[in-house]
Structure 1
Amino acid sequence: MSEEPGPVPAAAEPTGDGLVQVAYLHPHQVSHSWHESVMRLVMYDQLHDARIVGTAGPLMISCGSGSLVESRNLAVSRWLDETPYEWLWFVDTDMGFDPDTVDRLVHAADPATRPVVGALCFAARETHHDGMGGRRITAVPTLYRPAHDPQGNVGFTTLFDYPENTLLQVAGTGAACLLIHRSAAEKIRAEHGDVWFDRVRYGDGRWVSEDLSFCWRLGALGLPVFVHTGVKTTHHKQVWLSEADYPRPGGGEAAHGR
């Protein structure tokens, strides 16, 4: 895998119908930022290439606690078996994104050389207890490179420093805003069956997350994964705020007025 950044290439010719099947998992509720982003994206799509509105509608998968793997696999199998559409776009219901997100991901992708392209997303990582019943949270990019632990086990490690507005090849990324070409999903099915997101284990026995397990299967088949760092998103999470998060004006003491 090359980690060298490069310019975002021109859009490739579609090998299928060029349409994008939207899929999302939901626990019967969504973030307002996601809802507003979807409405804006649909309006944009109607005025441009109709990649989304030209389909029969999104795959909406109810996802309860503990069923994430099964729900993601179900979305992929329904896309392959019930639709003819060339691309699948996973978007989690706690994400915010720009109206042209799908178009920019499709333009950056290529059915043969760039079959999986994600947007720049961030996860909330708990760093330590705050002493008041909560935890300190920091944002980390969902960009991963290969790594080895002291015992020689192969795994993933976070790539913290990344180039701006670049199509970057990575070993793995999350599935929160991820475009997948039909051929990539079909290759995994042919090799492993309908287990795209089934979790694998690191060499030391620890479980790998379902999205990185998907990327691991892609890598094992020689299918590269990219992230477009110019396609931005937001991620709605619960956090604990304290004085440590408050930038005091002028560096002085915080005001106590309301």
Structure 2
Amino acid sequence: MTDDDKPIKILIATPCYQGMCHADYTLSLVKTFAYFQNKKNIKIAHKFILYDSLVPRARNYFSAMALSDKTITHLLFIDADIGWLPEDIMRLISHNKPIIGAAIAKKKYIWDKLRNEHVKQILLDDSLPIEEYRNRIRACLVEYAVNFGASREIKDGVLEVEHIGTAFMLIQRQALEKLCQHYPELKIRQSNHELLSIEALNHFYCLFELRLQEGRYLSEDFSFCKRWNDLGGKIYADLSISLMHHGAEDYYGSILGLDKTNRK
């Protein structure tokens, strides 16, 4: 799907449980609004939810808000500690998948990975520019917020996966509607709410409620993916997208980038 096709309106949804977002997030958001001004059939809307310590609940609020606005075609979760390029959003749109995300680097270095042969090759490669040298090593020392399934077929950087994190996840409206229809027991029934309109309350479901899978405790994003999987739906990851994930320092990289390193 491109901006030459039917009109698209994306709601960028960001939980800010401490009421703050990173400077790189802010810069990325400004660049995104500027970039999409030139896309005639793609519009961007944006919402924060502040000071809600229950992130699954905040994601449920956002889903209800998106469904209550008939002009919203996609819900895009972007966490407040993420940095991205506007082109990353365009890539997710272009794949035209019901649920697709980017695999972010987790905020922890796995130092044992220094023992891996392909990491050793990078360490000994004095031909690399210093910035590329650092970036490759750092990308190799982290794990990524994705659970792979049986598929190993990568097409245009995209792979079908079992679960993907919601830190940078694009969800088509039809997927949210189908989930609500299939899980009526998850509907939250209350007559008023300070964050939600009357119309939004009609679409208020616990789609991101935590759950167990064969004794495994799933996070809210993986629980959401499992509910979609149980309907026969598929989850996709664009492994080529490299996002900045801010913590004690900046963690970033892409899984396909690691694969290129392995083949060198």
Normalised TM-score (structure 1) = 0.69
Question: Within 2, Cα distance between the matches of 1:126 and 1:64?
Answer: 28
**Alignment correspondent of 1:180:** 171
Question: Within 1, Cα distance between the matches of 2:181 and 2:4?
Answer: 25
**Alignment correspondent of 1:238:** 248
- Does the C-alpha gap of structure 1 residues 162 and 34 become closer, same or farther in structure 2, counting only changes over 3 Å? farther
**Alignment correspondent of 1:141:** 144
**Alignment correspondent of 2:232:** 222
Give the superposition deviation at 1:146.
4.4
- Does the C-alpha gap of structure 1 residues 231 and 164 become closer, same or farther in structure 2, counting only changes over 3 Å? farther
Question: Within 2, Cα distance between the matches of 1:37 and 1:124?
Answer: 20
**Alignment correspondent of 1:201:** 212
Question: Within 2, Cα distance between the matches of 1:145 and 1:120?
Answer: 11
Q: Secondary structure at the match of 1:52?
A: strand
Unaligned runs of 5+ in 2: 112-140, 187-204, 251-264
**Alignment correspondent of 1:253:** none
As a proportion of its length, which structure holds more helix?
Answer: 2
Question: Within 1, Cα distance between the matches of 2:4 and 2:161?
Answer: 23
CA shift digits 1:102-124 (9 cap, x unpaired):
21110012xxxx21111231112
Question: Within 2, Cα distance between the matches of 1:81 and 1:98?
Answer: 28
Question: Within 2, Cα distance between the matches of 1:98 and 1:207?
Answer: 32
- Does the C-alpha gap of structure 1 residues 239 and 47 become closer, same or farther in structure 2, counting only changes over 3 Å? closer
Q: Quick one: which of 42, 50, 54 aligns to 1:51?
A: 42
Question: Within 1, Cα distance between the matches of 2:25 and 2:173?
Answer: 25
Q: Which amino acid in 2 is paired with 1:61?
A: I
Contact 2:8–2:72, Cα closer than 8 Å, also in 1: yes
Question: Within 2, Cα distance between the matches of 1:39 and 1:227?
Answer: 25
Contact 2:3–2:39, Cα closer than 8 Å, also in 1: no
> Counterparts of 1:62-211 in structure 2 under 5 Å?
62-65=50-53, 67-109=54-96, 114-125=97-108, 138-146=141-149, 166-192=157-183, 193=186, 194-204=205-215, 206-211=216-221
Question: Within 2, Cα distance between the matches of 1:58 and 1:233?
Answer: 19
Give the superposition deviation at 1:169.
0.7
Contact 1:90–1:176, Cα closer than 8 Å, also in 2: yes
Question: Within 2, Cα distance between the matches of 1:224 and 1:189?
Answer: 17
Contact 1:63–1:71, Cα closer than 8 Å, also in 2: no
Give the superposition deviation at 1:230.
2.0
Unaligned runs of 5+ in 1: 1-9, 129-137, 148-158, 241-258
Contact 2:211–2:217, Cα closer than 8 Å, also in 1: yes
Question: Within 1, Cα distance between the matches of 2:38 and 2:226?
Answer: 37
Q: Number of residue pairs matched?
A: 201
- Does the C-alpha gap of structure 1 residues 83 and 24 become closer, same or farther in structure 2, counting only changes over 3 Å? farther
Q: Which amino acid in 2 is paired with 1:64?
A: D
CA shift digits 1:180-204 (9 cap, x unpaired):
0011111111111312100111322
As a proportion of its length, which structure holds more strand?
Answer: 1
Question: How much is the aligned-residue C-alpha RMSD, in angstroms?
Answer: 2.9
CA shift digits 1:18-59 (9 cap, x unpaired):
211111111211101101111111111112346234xxx312
Contact 2:56–2:208, Cα closer than 8 Å, also in 1: yes
